[in-house]
Chains A and B, each alone.
Chain A
Amino acid sequence: SYELTQPPSVSVSPGQTARITCSGDALPKQFAYWYQQRPGQAPVLLIYKDTERPSGIPERFSGSSSGTTVTLTISGVQAEDEADYYCQSADSSATYVLFGGGTKLTVL
């Protein structure tokens, strides 16, 4: 079965750069998307089509893609960025939606 794999946790100090990876065999064929979920809140879309940022999302959030891995980069991390981050994509036939297991970002 198709899976998306994320590291369970990433820790960075304020002002540093955080990178969260997501790996999956279908990623070369399907776009990846990223969501931020703060405690007690619904997920919010951060990145779509691998690299595009919706209006209202700060420029410090960016996405990139290389082969079977996509990466969410948060530049100049702020305390408010402490949250869970999920990648999402679809299977190669575009039938099923899949989420990665999520990465907890801790701002030290």
Chain B
Amino acid sequence: EVQLVQSGAEVKKPGESLKISCKGSGYSFPSYSIGWVRQMPGKGLEWMGIIYPDDSDTTYSPSFQGQVAISADKSISTAYLQWSSLQASDTAIYYCARRSLTLIFFDSWGQGTLVTVSS
């Protein structure tokens, strides 16, 4: 069974750094791209970017380029989403999702990580 398990909820202050994780199991992790999706409180889904774990090739949405960093460690089947300096507007649920092998859609999702940024 394909599973994506994300790290737990975080509460941070503005200006702090953060790295959240997404661990895949039940499939060949290096072979499937992992995307990250933001959902701000009461709002819709926003695609942030995607990484191919086998070679770490990464594409960012223009809206998130330079705001976050996406990485992966295929040796431990884990993808990451990282901020160097959080802002209150980063408060959201962040989902990781596995991209289909051949088409541009997400066939399996993590449970989401709630990030709260508040002074």
Contacts and interface: CB of A to CB of B under 8 A. Distances in A.
A54 B95 CA distance: 21
Given A88-B105, A96-B59, A102 B44 contact: yes
B52 to A, nearest CB: 13
A90 interface: yes
Contact of A96 (B47, B100, B107): B47
Contacts of A88: 45, 105-106
Contacts of B35: 97
A95 B35 CA distance: 13
Contacts of A43: 37, 45, 95, 97, 106, 109
Bin the interface of chain B by size: 20 to 34
B59 A86 contact: no
A42 B45 contact: no
Interface string A67-108: 000000000000000001010111000111111111000000
Interface string B98-113: 0010011111011110
B103 A99 contact: no
Interface of B: 35, 37, 44-47, 50, 59, 61-62, 95, 97, 100, 103-107, 109-112
